[in-house]
Structure 1
Amino acid sequence: MYKNLRGRPGRVLAAVTVAQFVFALDMSVVNVALPAIRADLGFAPLDLSWVVHVYALTFGGLLLLGGRACDLYGRRRLLLLGLAVFGLCSLAGGLAQSPWQLVAARAGQGAGAAAAAPAALAMLTTTFAEGPRRVRALGVWSAANAAGGALGVLAGGLLTEYTSWRWVMLVNLPIVATALALLPAGGPAEETGRAQAPPVRRERPDVPGAVLATAGVGLLVFGVVRTDVRGWGSPATLGTLAAALALLTAFAVTEARTSAPLLRPGLLRSRWVAGANVLVFLAAAGQFTAFYFVSLYLQQVLGLGAAATGLAFLPFSAGLVAGTVLATRVVARRTPRAALVPGAVLATAGLAWFALISPDGGFLTDVLGPSLVTSIGTGLVLAPVAAAGTTGVAAREAGTASGLLNSSRQLGGCVGLAALATVAAHRSGGATDPSALNSGYATGLAAAAGLFALAALVAIGVLPRRRPPAAGHAPGHPAPLTPAENRLEGTRS
């Protein structure tokens, strides 16, 4: 085992942590800048949402493909490629002079993130063997993921108010450069996706599965994110979602019949993998919704500016990191379930407290307390769910499992936010006065609490109570790791 986190393992951890931070940051940093972007580039009101939606569309739609590609062609290679594409598109977005240029740049960012995010998590799980060291590494990774999402609101507010909206895109460049500089050159981390047994090396990509999965997930995200304009019951929405369901059904049939599937059905027979993906879907839906409604409450009801709204999220960021650190200590001694259940319960309580917001409230009375409770609970969920979702997964499928987990997180955020935004809008009745808006946001936050309650039930009812089995011996994995894979897992001293 590695005796410390210095050397190659430490550099891998540092590189993938910085990479995950910038991907999470980009999910929220743009939101606060949307009014400034509209004024500068002349977006039509109905087109402005595509600055956010197109990133979610390409990121979510390509994650499964990116995860499988990094298993076949090398995780380090895909991480380098994804980071390079993400950085170049960030530069293009910061220099955009028209709406279509910015939307195209955001689509490119999503594609780059879809290649790099599963590669980063797969490098982490194949560098650190299952046990306390992997738990600690995943804790650091999860803390960066949480901090990126929360600090994105702060960074977006400060950059928009004191510099220019363009810096919400350009700020990615030094972060991407740091990740690239930290990434070790060559060696085991690079060979993880290719140093397998000969049959894996000669394996052909599952092109039909890739097309069906990308099209199906992409249509699902597209149908969901456009409900803000067309509504859930419109023929366009229902038709899009029906087409997505048909494509995903065809994908499932194809994967069951092909000899080299994009997503092996046996992987989902593991209770750890299946339970973690359902749980992260629900938790992401609740987390994204909390960010969205609390941000709107601060600005539209309490009247705070962009920078002040960002600063108001600092306690949330601190709580996420604290919860992640606590979860790392718990999981190192017990199982992911031991942190997931109390974390989901705590997040449920925090969001239920948030649902008591008032039009005449304030930061100290309505935001600070529930922010800390919700964020600590969410932090307790984030690190364990990453550990649970990669438990018992052989190195040869680490990228696939990572892509699946990221895809579930992304879909959960998109579907949950779109659904609960509709619920909130229905509750407010289309009125824009603070009292009506407050009622809608409170209803949305209460529904988010319900999602975390469901996540707690999944953790209790699906995830095993026993300590995770060793990699390569989990249900659905017929063969143990090869000697090369064991070396790559870091099991030799």
Structure 2
Amino acid sequence: MTSVEFAVRKRSRGAALTVLAAAQFTVMLATSIVNVALPQIRAGVGLSDGGTTWVVNAYGLAFGALLLAGGRAADLLGRRQVLLAGLALFGAASAAAGLATSPAVLICARAVQGVGAAVIAPAALALVMDLFPPGPERGRALGIWGAVSGAGGAAGVVLGGVLNQAWGWPWIFYAVALGTFLVLVACAVFVPRVAAGEAAPFDLPGTATIGLALTGLVWGLTTARSDGWTDGRVLGAFSLAAVLGAAFVLIERRSRHPLVPPRLFAGGRVAAGNVLMGLFGSVWIALFFFLPLYQQQVLGAGPLVTGLGQLPLAAANMLGATLAPRIARRIGATATAVAALLTEAAGMLWLSRISADGSFVTDVLGPSVLVGLGLSVAFVQLTAMSIEGVAKADSGLAGGLVNTTRQVGGAIGLAVLATVAGSVTSAAHRPHLEALTDGYRTAFVVSAAVLAASALLATVMNSLNTKARKTSCSPSTHPLPSSSGSRP
């Protein structure tokens, strides 16, 4: 390949990465953009308290339950084709949500948005893996991926506040629809065609059982936040999830073409990465739930000011994700992940010092920057760990799996932390704002403990994997040397 051809190929891959990152940004944006506008959305379409909650839950439920199916469909049907279909569905559902005049239409549109997101996220990540082989280039690509993923959550709060205050809540969805269709056109132009994977039948029984199991689990968790953990419907949802989860394991063992083939976990790194990503996700999603609540309910900030308050966190997130590959090459992947998790834990502990009579500058600014740095670096490293060594034919599934564990972990974490915070607030015999602050502080302390435990677990898992590799290397074998910085 000549230098000119190499430069052209590099520019084309850069353009494709930009577009794929924009697709991921759109998915993350839609996760949080409604948070600061829920009161206005409720009044606009006549939602009840429970219905208002489902404006958020319908999206997250469909997203988390169908990610594995979306990833496998991308592997079997062609990643570019599936990505384009997902973007079209996502954009149409976003426009329908903006046009909604009744609670049923709005909630259904949000659920269809989640279906589209469940297709987009794994297909886009698989295409990034196709374009950038393992090594420094993939590390830089994942750094960009991590920057836009983390920034999307923060940007959603910012954009939601701006659009809601300027033109009203429907423009939150119109803006997402417009952005999605622009990304769709850009994907059609700049993302190269990639051949579909193996000609294998789609595992419909496995897909149905795991999808329904995850639906029951996430529905039970989200409902428990409002109705309590001992509510009959909540316990029934958890029981259904357990039964269907067991059925999924049995189906996968007997299937010739399982939805989640055992070879995906052969190296140990994918399993470890997904466990850690689940713990990490439990804190990530809760952060963008509690922080805006503190700013609005305690500090008295409006939607616009609350949104703008996320900008320092978003900037720190982008900086950390950009630096993550360089740090990993210098000190190793596992050390980088551990340091990032501990940095985020320190930021959460700092946030636990918020007060009822505080301010954004004194109580939120510093810790949010520290959290943003740790969050972004950890996300990049855990994503890389979760897809390391995966065969090209399974890259879509691997992308779906790591997104599933983050989403389900987030649902579990948010349900538990919201319950803990609510219990502390209810038990506090103090003025309302001080009681609310006590609950939020407790949520941040527990989040810090989860992150610290994740850092310890990452160290232990790395040690076990290292011992396993040494044990498997006998004098008669010729083990391949590990690349410096890319494996711990």
TM-score by length of 2: 0.91
Aligned with residue 370 of structure 2, among 365, 368, 373: 373
Q: How do 1:89-488 and structure 2 match up within 5 A?
A: 89-183=93-187, 189-194=192-197, 200-201=198-199, 203-333=200-330, 335-429=332-426, 433-463=432-462
| 1: CA distance, partners of 2:407 / 2:153 | 13
Cα offset, 1:48, TM superposition: 1.0
Cα offset, 1:175, TM superposition: 1.8
Q: 1:296 to 1:186 in 2, by over 3 A?
A: closer
Cα offset, 1:227, TM superposition: 1.0
| 1: CA distance, partners of 2:265 / 2:155 | 33
User: What is the aligned partner in structure 2 of residue 476 from structure 1?
Assistant: none
Q: 1:59 to 1:430 in 2, by over 3 A?
A: farther
Amino acid at match of 1:320: N
Amino acid at match of 1:49: T
- Alignment check: 8 A CA contact 1:219 1:243 kept: yes
Cα offset, 1:465, TM superposition: 9.5
| 2: CA distance, partners of 1:174 / 1:6 | 28
Bigger drift between 1-10 and 289-298 goes to 1-10
Cα offset, 1:192, TM superposition: 3.6
- Alignment check: 8 A CA contact 2:16 2:190 kept: no
Tell me, what secondary structure is at the counterpart of 1:49? helix
User: What is the aligned partner in structure 2 of residue 78 from structure 1?
Assistant: 82
| 2: CA distance, partners of 1:156 / 1:116 | 22
Cα offset, 1:169, TM superposition: 0.6
Amino acid at match of 2:449: G
| 2: CA distance, partners of 1:135 / 1:184 | 25
Q: Percent same amino acid among aligned pairs? A: 40
| 2: CA distance, partners of 1:256 / 1:336 | 33
| 2: CA distance, partners of 1:363 / 1:186 | 41
Tell me, what secondary structure is at the counterpart of 1:298? helix
Tell me, what secondary structure is at the counterpart of 1:129? coil
Tell me, what secondary structure is at the counterpart of 2:116? helix
Amino acid at match of 2:37: A
Cα offset, 1:233, TM superposition: 2.2
Amino acid at match of 1:437: L
| 2: CA distance, partners of 1:237 / 1:171 | 35
| 2: CA distance, partners of 1:63 / 1:464 | 30
| 1: CA distance, partners of 2:88 / 2:332 | 36
Please list the CA deviations of residues 397-421 of structure 1 after superposition, one character each: whole Å capped at 9, or x if unmatched. 0011000000011111111011100
Bigger drift between 292-301 and 177-186 goes to 177-186
- Alignment check: 8 A CA contact 1:14 1:182 kept: no
Q: 1:341 to 1:363 in 2, by over 3 A?
A: same
Tell me, what secondary structure is at the counterpart of 1:159? helix
- What is the aligned length? 460
Please list the CA deviations of residues 284-341 of structure 1 after superposition, one character each: whole Å capped at 9, or x if unmatched. 1111112211111111111111111111111111111111112121234554313211
Bigger drift between 299-308 and 4-13 goes to 4-13
Amino acid at match of 2:438: S
- Alignment check: 8 A CA contact 2:268 2:465 kept: no
Q: 1:388 to 1:322 in 2, by over 3 A?
A: same
User: What is the aligned partner in structure 1 of residue 12 from structure 2?
Assistant: 8
If each structure's helix is expressed as a fraction of its own residues, which one has the higher value? 2
Aligned with residue 69 of structure 1, among 58, 70, 73: 73
Q: 1:260 to 1:249 in 2, by over 3 A?
A: same
User: What is the aligned partner in structure 2 of residue 54 from structure 1?
Assistant: 58
User: What is the aligned partner in structure 2 of residue 471 from structure 1?
Assistant: none
Q: 1:14 to 1:465 in 2, by over 3 A?
A: farther
Tell me, what secondary structure is at the counterpart of 2:357? coil
Q: 1:367 to 1:11 in 2, by over 3 A?
A: same
Tell me, what secondary structure is at the counterpart of 1:178? helix
- Alignment check: 8 A CA contact 1:139 1:383 kept: yes
Q: Runs of 5+ in structure 1 lacking a partner? A: 195-199, 468-493
Amino acid at match of 1:425: G
